[in-house]
Structure 1
């Protein structure tokens, strides 16, 4: 085994998965979704009333860049802006039915890929890989929750 190869292999595996998922999405009519959008969708799926500032903080981008990203997703029908429930000056961003449908398709694609992997290496080895990755991520992240966001 080549020293230092595992982090690169993890990155390449993620890239291969995302390339396949985006090819599948494009074939299903989601031709306007980019990988960066997935990080927005993931955040909004667990924070259903986030502001652009919160989204920008999560993604590690400026508020202005987050607003541009939200504008783009709004024009494409994946998110919508709503009045903030507690701050009349602010608005929150929420997924639309199209956004939720895209998320469901991604999860289904990921599940299909995991099923392929189970056939390739076996269910038990895949379960062990999962558990090992959780252990390694927890250790390397010093016990902090590691957010799923792009590395800009």
Structure 2
């Protein structure tokens, strides 16, 4: 790999992992999940619920676009929207049991991917990669918030 190719190769490794995750989800009956849904799931799995405004900010889209995505996820049974306990104008979005099962399937597949990578390059080498990526993310975070969100 030539100098300067690493960011592109990291992107391709991520894409290969995402393709594998979505193939596994389809196999498990979650074939209606799109990559954009995963970014909503990622946020909701780390909060006690979020509003459409918070989800829009996380995704880097308008509230209207987030609301449309949430309507799709609600129709598919992955999320529920309920009255917000502190703000009557807002609705609190949270994962349903189906949503949590999908998140669990993703976590399990991420772990399987890491296991396969360790078998491919060796656990110690993968630990070095993990440490390096964590340092890169920490550095980027120190310069502003870094979230896992789609590149639209």
Instruction: Give TM-score scaled by structure 1 length.
Output: 0.96
| Unaligned stretches of 5+ residues in structure 2 | none
Q: Retained in 1: the 8 A contact 2:49–2:94?
A: yes
Look up the match of 1:47: 47
After superposition, the C-alpha distances for 1:42-70 in whole angstroms (9 at most, x for unaligned) are: 00111222100110011000000000000
- Pairwise CA distance, 1:8: 0.4
CA–CA separation in structure 2 for the residues paired with 1:93 and 1:141: 26
Q: Which residue of 1 aligns with 2:19?
A: 19
Which structure 1 segments of 5+ residues have no match?
A: none
Equivalent residues in 2 for 1:2-41 (5 A)?
Answer: 2-41=2-41
Structure 2 partner of 1:60: 60
Give the TM-score normalised by the residue count of structure 2: 0.96
C-alpha contact (below 8 Å) 2:140/2:146 kept by paired residues: no
Q: How far apart are the structure 2 equivalents of 1:79 and 1:73?
A: 6
Q: Alpha-carbon deviations, 1:100-132, whole Å to 9, x = none? A: 000000000010010011111111111111001
**Residue of structure 2 equivalent to 1:112:** 112
Q: How far apart in 2 are the matches of 1:136 and 1:49?
A: 29
Figure out how many residues of one structure are paired with residues of the other and give that number: 152
Runs of 4+ in structure 1 over 3 Å off: 140-145
What is the Cα deviation at residue 145 of structure 1? 4.4
Residue 92 of structure 1 aligns to a residue whose secondary structure is strand
- Alpha carbon RMSD of aligned pairs, Å? 1.2
1:124-143 correspondence to structure 2 within 5 Å:
124-143=124-143
